[in-house]
Amino acid sequence: MQSTRFALDAGHDFVELNQLLKLVGLAHSGGTGKAIVASGAVRVDGQVELRKTCKIRAGQVVECEGMRVEVVAG
């Protein structure tokens, strides 16, 4: 599994899940990110996550399509 880190922008406590997928290159747009989440293909901290705009905070790990994304403070 490929692994990467995503740093939150300074002053931001979270990123929405569908936007995170877009920002790390797993989705071409926020809409595509929503579809990926709705399909059940995304795990947050090991659990399937179906909330498209779920707030992802520093310290959480998102897994999708063979990629593991660790979210860190900016």
Q: pLDDT at position 1, please?
A: 86
Segments making up each domain of the chain, as ranges = 2-72
Average of per-residue pLDDT values in the chain: 96
Global pTM? Answer: 0.93
| Stretch 3-26: mean pLDDT | 95
Provide mean pLDDT across the span 16-40: 95
Task: Please check whether the domain covering 2-72 is classified as CATH 3.10.290.10.
Answer: yes
- For residue 7, with 0-12 CB atoms within 10 Å meaning exposed, 13-18 middle and 19 or more buried, which class applies? exposed
As a whole number, mean pLDDT of residues 47-72 equals 97
Does the pLDDT of residue 74 top 90, yes or no? no
Q: If pLDDT is split at 50, 70 and 90, which confidence band does 67 have?
A: very high
